[in-house]
Structure 1
Amino acid sequence: MSERRFDPVKMARLDSPERRKALPPEKILSLLEIKENDTVLDMGAGTGYFSFPAAKLTSGTVYALDVEPQMLEVLKQRIDEQHLKNIDLIEGAIENIPLDNDQVNQIIASFVLHEVELLSKGLQEIWRVLKSGGRCLCLEWEKKPMEQGPPLEHRIHSDDMKKAFEDSGFQIVHFTFPTESHYIIVAQK
C-alpha cells in the first residue's frame, strides 16, 4: 500500500457522526445535480459514504471504485444488507480507471485526489471517463496544519487544485469551503 493511500484499519472514521454533521453527503451531492438516469463514479468509495446517497438519486449505475479489496468487501456487505441493485463495485486506481471513455455523467472525488501519485494523470483519467458536460465534485482537505487528515505534505492547496483542474481543460462551476478545513470544487468537462 502506498503511504499516500487511506489505511482501511481506520475505516470507522469514514462514517462517523462527526463527519456526517460537518460534511452531510446528501447536501454535498446536491452540488452535482445528479439526474434520474445519470451514471455516477464514486472514486475511492470506501464504505459508501457517497455511493449510497448517490444510488438513491439515480436509477443509473453508481460505480464504486476503490483500490483496497478490504474496503470493497465491506461495501459489498452493506450493499447486500440494503438490497441496492444499482451500485457496481470496481477494484482499481484513479490513475487507471477501469471504465470506457465518456462513460459517466458525474464523478465524486472525495478525499482521494491528494492520494494520487501524479495529480495530472488522475485528472486525465477523470476527463477520459466523464461524458461531455459531465461534472466532477472534488472534496479535499485544505493545505494547512490541523490535527485531522493526511500529512500536510500530501495535501493540495485549493488554489493549486483549481489550477490543476483548469489546466486539464475543466471549467470550475462551483467553489466553496463547507468547513474551515475542507474545500469543494465542482468542475465541468
Structure 2
Amino acid sequence: MSERRFDPAKFAKLDNPERRKALPPKKLLGMLAIQENDDILDLGAGTGYFSLPAATMTKGTIYALDVEPQMLEMLKERSAEQGVVNIQFIEGKIEELPLADALVDHVIASYVLHEIDPLSAGLTEIHRALKKGGKCLCLEWEKKETEQGPPLHHRIHSSDLQQAMEAAGFTIIEKSFPTDQHYILIAQKNG
C-alpha cells in the first residue's frame, strides 16, 4: 500500500458522528444538483459515506471506486443491509479509471485527491469520465497543521487544487470552506 493511501484498518474515522455533523453528506451532495437519472462516480468510496446517500438521490448508477478490496466489501455489506441496489462496486485507481469516457454526470472526490501521484493524472481521468458539463465535488483538507487528517506534505492547498483543476479543463463554479480544516471545490467540465 502506498504511504499516501488511506489505511483500511482506520475505517471508523471515515464515518463518525463528528464528521457527519460538520460535513453532512446529503447537504454536500446537494451542491451537485443531482437529477433523477444521474450517474455518479464516487472516488475512494470507502464505507459509503457519499455512495449510500447518493444512491437514494438518483435512479442512475453509483460507481463506487476504491483501490482497497476490504473497503468495497464493507460497502457491499452496508448496501445490502440498507437494500440499496444501484451501486456498482469497482476496484481500481483514480489515476487509471476502469471506466468509459463521458460515462458519469457527477464525480465525488472526497479526501482522495491528496493521495494521487501525480495529481494531474487523476484529474485527467476524472475529466475523461465526466460527461460534458458534468460536475465534480472535491472535498479536501486545507494545507495547514491540524490534529486530524493526512500529513501536511500530502495536502493540497485550495488555491493549488483550483489551479490544477483549471489546467485539467475544469471551471471552478463554487469554492467554500465548511470548516476551518476543509475546503470544497465544485468544478465543471468545460466544453
| Shared fold (TM-score, shorter chain, > 0.5) | yes
- 1:55 — aligned with what? 55
Number of residue-to-residue matches in the alignment? 189
Aligned to 2:116: 116
CA distance in 2, matches of 1:30, 1:37: 15
- Structure 2 counterpart of 1:77: 77
Letter in 1 for 2:19: R
Instruction: Give the aligned residue type for 2:177.
Output: F
The secondary structure found in structure 2 opposite 1:76 is helix
Q: CA deviation at 1:117?
A: 1.1
Tell me which amino acid in the other structure corresponds to 2:50.
Answer: F
* 1:106-148, Cα deviation, whole Å (9 max, x unpaired): 0000000000011000000001000000000000000001110
CA deviations on 1:62-102 (whole Å, 9 max, x unpaired) are: 00000000000101111111111101100000000110000
Q: Which amino acid aligns with 1:82?
A: Q
Instruction: Report percent identity of matched pairs.
Output: 65
Q: Which runs of 5+ in 2 are unaligned?
A: none
Stretches (4+) displaced over 6 A? none
Residue 32 in 1 paired to residue 32 in 2? yes
Q: TM-score, normalised by structure 2?
A: 0.98
- Over the residues paired in the alignment, what is the CA RMSD in angstroms? 0.4
Q: Deviation per CA, 1:151-184, whole angstroms, max 9, x where unpaired?
A: 0000000000000000111000110000000000
Partner-residue secondary structure (3-state), 1:19: helix
Find the aligned partners of 1:33 and 1:44 in 2 and give their Cα distance: 21
AA paired with 2:52?
A: F
- 2-side partners of 1:119 and 1:187: how far apart? 15
Q: Does 1:98 align with 2:85?
A: no
Matched, 1:130 2:135: no
TM-score by length of 1: 0.99
- How many Å apart are 1:30 and its aligned residue? 0.5
Q: What is the identity, as a one-letter code, of the residue corresponding to 1:59? A: K
CA distance in 1, matches of 2:83, 2:168: 38
Instruction: Write out per-residue CA displacement over residues 27-62 of structure 1, whole angstroms, 9 at most, x where no aligned residue.
Output: 111101110000000000000000011001100000
Aligned partner of 1:65 in structure 2 is 65
Counterpart of 2:75 in 1: which secondary structure? helix
Residues in 1 aligned to 2:182 and 2:53: alpha-carbon distance in whole angstroms: 20
Structure 1 distance, partners of 2:94, 2:2, is 13
Alignment of 1:4-23 (within 5 A): 4-23=4-23
Distance 1:118 1:78 in 2: 32
The CA distance in 1 between the partners of 2:38 and 2:168, in whole Å, is: 23
> Structure 2: how far apart are the matches of 1:165 and 1:86?
29
